[in-house]
Amino acid sequence: MKQVAAIDTLNLSTARCEGIREKVAVLVSGGVDSAVALTLLKKAGYDVEAFYLKIWLQDEVVALGDCPWEADLGFVRAVTEKLDVRLHVLSLQDEYWKLVISDTIARIKQGETPNPDMHCNSLIKFGVFIDYLRERFPSFTKVASGHYAQIAYRDETNSDQVYLKMSPDAIKDQTYFLSRLRQVQLQALMFPIGHLTKQEVRACAREYRLQNQNRKDSQGLCFLGKIKFRDFVRYYLGEKQGEIVAMDTGRVLGVHRGYWYYTLGQRQGLDLSNGPWYVVAKDIKTNRVYVSRWEAALRKKFTIGAMHWLSDDFVEEQHFYHHKVKGSKSMQYTVKIRHGSKQHSCTLTPIKEVSSRPSETEGCYRVNLNEVELGIAPGQFAVFYKENICVGSAVIVEA
């Protein structure tokens, strides 16, 4: 553990911070990752205060019978008291509902597969919260969290841009969820555990004897706690019986309780014989879910909407490539279709280059994978990388 601590001290002291007493607001959740992030900053000499954000939804807690925040806040209080760090508890439930949940429900009803955690990071944790800090606590110069990601700089250039770099722990890497951040947000952030693996973070927690050192990682969406996502969807959209139809024959194979419970590529929860069957299409007008065999659920290309680039450097690079380089207009990246370690090599081509209606496809791209993938669905985010740097993301609009 001495090596880990030394690595962390070096990482924090060389992170372009103007002085060891820089004031940092640390987002804490009750989990081991944010607790270690807070501890490392405190040990490194930063002036830290902890902030716990309440984004759980009271109505759902009452209706579905779970209080996800009580245990979390208990661990937060234990850790902050141990470290002698001031704790703020901030309720952002109204903002979370308006900016994240209402949009998520609407998109599910439209047949899409949204990811509310993406918007939670860009709009709430590093959006509304940073705005709140600047208004109420302007002395804070940085915001830190326990995300598995890194902030990188290009020291060899005059660029003032910062980059979002992957964690060395490929399984825990969270750059996928951070790919909607704006450059001004990235410049305000610190990720104290971003250069560590999960195993090293656990070791740090044991070394510092943190009360949540053995607490299991949370699963699922950040605001639901132990509430199942299916139960959450049922609470808002209810149930509506419809047919499950074989795509190739048109034969009715069974019934379902609402197309909004299914996403493309899904196999679980169909309750059909002679399987396995995979969801390959949904008709929201007729409430039909279409299924087929595994091969029909695979995709090698899809269309994305406008790209959200994380740095102006990437925009300039793309502009130079498309206007100065002769030949192909496609650019080479790797892409993640969902959170996790799996990436695909791909090409990204402006649709106006291959479309007969370029004015209607302005800003959209065609993505071609080097191999087929299961479960590519409209509403999901595609996140793009150059080596270990996240360059941007976009919503999948057609698959």
- Indicate which residues carry an active-site annotation: 120, 222
Give the span between the Cα atoms of 318 and 348, in whole angstroms: 10
User: What are the b/e assignments for 107-130, b being 16+ CB within 10 Å?
Assistant: bbeebbbbbbbbbbbbbbbbbbbb
The CA-based angle 251-246-274, given to 5 degrees, is 95
Q: Is the peptide bond before 276 cis (omega within 30 degrees of 0)?
A: yes
Strands 278-283, 252-256: pairing is unpaired
CA 179, 180, 184, 188 torsion-angle sign: negative
CA 388, 391, 393, 398 torsion-angle sign: negative
Give the span between the Cα atoms of 286 and 299, in whole angstroms: 24
Structural contact between residues 395 and 359, judged by C-beta atoms closer than 8 angstroms: no
Structural contact between residues 117 and 133, judged by C-beta atoms closer than 8 angstroms: no
